[in-house]
Structure 1
Amino acid sequence: MNLNLEIKGKGYPILCLHGHPGSARSLSVFTNHLSQRYQTIAPDLRGYGKSRPNGNFQMQDHLDDLETLLDSLKIERCLLLGWSLGGILALELALRNQKRYEGLILIASAARPRGNHPPITPQDLFYTGVAGIVNWIKPGWKWNIETFGKRSLFRYLLSQQTPQAYHYLASDGVSAYLQTSKPAQKALFQALKAGYSRLDDLNHLKIPSLVLAGENDVHITCASSEETAKTIKQCQWRRYPNTAHLFPWEIPTQVLQDIDAWLNTLKFD
């Protein structure tokens, strides 16, 4: 399948993979910065953004799409960066053929993802809808954050309820949510229901890796990310206090500094 694609910058390529719900646009916090030194390649995964699916599909199809994409761009080697679901796909690509990848960056992701999200109430859904609509109209409005945002499901996605984070929600989050297809949701839920885990296969992974997690993440827990980091042989690990699943939107400067520092340790072929 031909994927909608955003390519920025020049230099060593980094394949950047978004989460669920998500799109290439939701990775702008990374691609706008990294494209100053590298070439960032951010596709809308099948069923997300503008990559519309032709019927139902399985998670395996994402991997085939991405390898076909790299082949079409004549990219023999690159770095991998994945956020949430994107991190799981990046990990799968590396396990398929690690000789193709120079390094791996996992953000709010894990080889055995586990969550501890509290039950969702009708009131949660109501406040989330109102907060999202108001924030789309007036991004980062403190009154909306205090009145609706902190009572909505956004309180689980963001520990730091700041205007900056809400600006990212408005510019990069709303459209991604609205464009996520039912086949994409079905494929993900089927994989999770099957009890996804690649933890036992990580001993085969020998490429340099960086794993970053928010301490208060309830979607993919910090503990599950740490478990992955400690199982990968060549891995640096960072835990960010007072942050949640969308921590790159909460503390972008710190996250990008840590990614830059790790990238500076690599020697590209």
Structure 2
Amino acid sequence: MAAQLAVEVHGNGDPVLLVHGLGGTSNVFGPQVGVLSRFFQCIRPDLPGSGRSPADGPLSIAGLADAVEGVMDERGLDRVHLVGHSLGTIVCQHVAARRPNRVRSLALIGPLHAPPDAARPVIRDRVAKARAEGMVGIADAIVQAGTSADTKANRPEVAALVREILMRQDPEGYARTCEALAAAEPADVARIACPTLLVTGDEDGTAPPTAVRALHRKIAGSSLRILDRCGHWTTFERPAEVNEALVNFLFSVD
């Protein structure tokens, strides 16, 4: 699967593999790559079914985790720092739990352990909507619900960027990714032994601080940071704060 993926690589140094979420692409980490690539090798794929990477058949969290490991294998990387956003954090947790010897550290931005039961029917509804109507209505709803009040009022360019990324998605690839997320099972985070950072926004309705604190308590030795006036599109809404958190965290890892 990894051979079909669109992958970009920037910089040199210890490898950092960046994994985007539902409706995202590798460009979700655009604000981070310029900073991180000064010190690290940044590897950012479009996951199967997202952006420039086609979906070959049904998608699952296990299959997406396989794709991430495939990127590592193709580049000959024994160990990496994993950075995930949203659905990408679920994928990263599964990789870290099943291959602890391959993950040096884990940074989870807008993290989910798994979708709450109440959210799963909503995600499945998006599957039918994407296939029947395309991405415009979904994009508008996600911009409204997924960004903070401050972003919508004072940074309309960020809201427009989120809308553009979502509208550019292939509806079928997005629908299959929704199916993977709706069926996602939580990783066995007790097996995660690497340094772990969790970051979320105080207005993140997808990864609310209460849920992220609960995940933080389940991952031994993890640290938590909550960003002010920030929704779920964390890397766009608070890029400077995310960059600071990631650089400080990655340099703290032995």
Tell whether the structures are fold-level matches, with TM greater than 0.5: yes
Query: Partner letter of residue 20 of structure 1?
Result: L
Q: Percent identity?
A: 23
The equivalent of 2:132 in structure 1 is none
Change in 2 beyond 3 A, CA 1:8/1:163: farther
Structure 1 residue 173, shift from structure 2 partner? 5.3
Task: Give, in angstroms, the shift of residue 40 of structure 1.
Answer: 0.5
CA RMSD of aligned residues (A): 2.6
The whole-number CA distance in structure 1 between the counterparts of 2:18 and 2:159 is 19
| TM-score normalised per structure 2 | 0.82
- SS of alignment partner, residue 82 of structure 2: strand
User: How far apart, CA to CA, are the structure 2 residues paired with 1:249 and 1:31?
Assistant: 12
- Greater CA deviation, 170-179 or 11-20? 170-179
Match of 1:223 among 206, 210, 218: 210
Q: Distance in 1 between matches of 2:35 and 2:163?
A: 18
1:53 to 52, 55, 62: 55
Aligned positions of 1:1-269 closer than 5 A = 1=1, 2=3, 3-114=5-116, 153-159=142-148, 160-161=150-151, 165-171=155-161, 174-192=164-182, 194=183, 196-198=185-187, 201-267=188-254
* Offset of residue 187 of structure 1: 4.2
Checking the alignment, whether the CA contact within 8 Å between 2:20 and 2:84 is kept in structure 1 is yes
- Distance across 2 between alignment mates of 1:166 and 1:65: 34
Structure 1, unpaired ranges of 5+: 120-127, 133-148
Q: Deviations over 1:138-162 (max 9, x none)?
A: xxxxxxxxxxx9xx65242221226
One-letter identity of the residue aligned with 1:5: V
Contact kept in structure 1, 2:109 and 2:200, CA below 8 Å: yes
Structure 2 distance, partners of 1:195, 1:77, is 25
Shift of 1:14: 0.4
Aligned equivalents of 2:166, 2:234: Cα separation in 1: 17
Q: Which moved more, 1:53-62 or 1:37-46?
A: 53-62
Give, in whole Å, the separation in 2 of the partners of 1:153 and 1:63. Answer: 25
The range that moved more, 177-186 or 82-91, is 177-186
Alignment deviations for residues 198-223 of structure 1 (CA, whole Å, 9 cap, x no partner): 3xx22221110000011111123222
Structure 2 unpaired stretches of 5+: 123-134
Indicate conservation of the 8 Å contact 1:22/1:177, yes or no. no
TM-score normalized by the length of structure 1: 0.78
Q: 1:40 to 1:54 in 2, by over 3 A?
A: same
Does the 8 Å CA contact 2:87/2:181 hold for their aligned counterparts? no
- The answer to whether the 8 A contact 2:23-2:165 is kept is no
AA matched with 2:50:
Y
Q: Name the count of aligned residue pairs.
A: 236
Question: Which amino acid is the alignment partner of residue 179 of structure 1?
Answer: Q
CA distance in 1, matches of 2:162, 2:27: 6
Q: Match of 2:169, as an amino acid?
A: Q
Q: Tell me the amino acid that sits aligned with residue 174 of structure 1.
A: E
Contact 2:147 2:159 in 1 (8 A): no
Greater Cα shift, 35-44 or 178-187: 178-187
- Determine if contact 1:21/1:180 at 8 Å carries over to the other structure: no
Letter in 2 for 1:53: A
The amino acid that maps onto 1:228 is L
